[in-house]
Amino acid sequence: MKKVLVMRANNLRHLALSAFLSKHGYLSAEIIESKMAPLSSSFPSNLLDAHLTAREQSEIDFFSFASDTEICVPRLEILSGELNSAQTFQFLDLVDFDLVITFGVSILSPQLINHVGRKILGIHLGLSPYYRGSGTNFFPFVNSEVAAVGYTLMHLDEGIDTGPIIHQGRAPVILGDSIHSIGNRNIQYMFSDIARFLEFKIDWEFSNQKSHLPSKLYKRKDFTLESLKLAYKNIDSGLIARHIENQNSDLELFPIIEYTRIKYSR
């Protein structure tokens, strides 16, 4: 059985990955990078408070199992921005693993990638290259592009979501969904795909070459009160229902790469 070291952030959705892998016997160690200062400090507003409260509750609804899962593996806890520090290198030399999976952490330096010395599976909550960077399952709602919500599993490199793509997926959108429920359902589907990758031997070299399709790159500073208002305005105007009605044509605008095209074996 493969031994997986997880590098993750410390929100409940990130803990859920470690809990899921631990439950199935794959987790061998984890590095936890603390999250940055709360977004609410950037532009205080009732809408932002409601958005963050709803996000937290949705994560509880989807991933409460993670809080009840006992995880007993070697662990390194670091502050935001310390992922590429000496203590990370030292920890990697002390633990045993076959594969690294990253989820919600800072960009790995070329030195850290080289030090790992083996495959690194990067989780990107969003469809690369269409949406790269920060908030990539949020800004599709700002731009009325629900079909661009999904997840990407890729070879990790030192760029911002620029590694060769191995697999992408999209969870179904259901009438009455919110930004948070759609995003968390995608994470659930992604966990199942990761389990399948770990169960089988994947031909990593089959992964797609770096794409030159049109790309939108967002940074944390792009999450503003104006973008938040526009996202909710679009939802209130029937964005979800319109997508469900027109999803066949919508999905064609954002073609994805699926592992069903990859040759794999026991």
Identify the sign of the CA torsion 185, 214, 52, 30.
positive
Q: Which helix (H) or strand (E) holds 264?
A: strand 264-265
How confident is the model over 189-243, as pLDDT tens digits? 999 989 888 887 665 555 555 455 668 888 888 999 999 999 999 999 999 999 9
Query: Which residues contact residue 64 at a Cβ distance below 8 angstroms, ignoring those fewer than 6 apart?
Result: none
Residue 21, classified by CB atoms within 10 Å of its CB into exposed (0-12), middle (13-18) or buried (19+), is buried
Q: Does domain 4-265 have CATH number 3.30.260.10?
A: no
**Residue 166 to residue 119: CA distance in whole angstroms:** 12
Cis status, amide bond into 129, omega within 30 of 0: yes
Answer left, alpha or beta for residue 25, where phi above 0 means left and psi between -120 and 50 means alpha: left
Indicate the pLDDT class of residue 266, thresholds 50, 70 and 90: very low
The mean pLDDT of 111-134, rounded to a whole number, is: 90
The mean pLDDT of 80-93, rounded to a whole number, is: 94
- Rounded to two decimals, what is the model's pTM? 0.90
Tally the residues of the chain.
266
- Could you tell me the CA-to-CA distances from 158 to 31, 126, 162, 250, 252 in Å, in that order? 18, 18, 8, 31, 30
pLDDT at residue 262 in the model: 45
**Residue 237 to residue 243: CA distance in whole angstroms:** 12
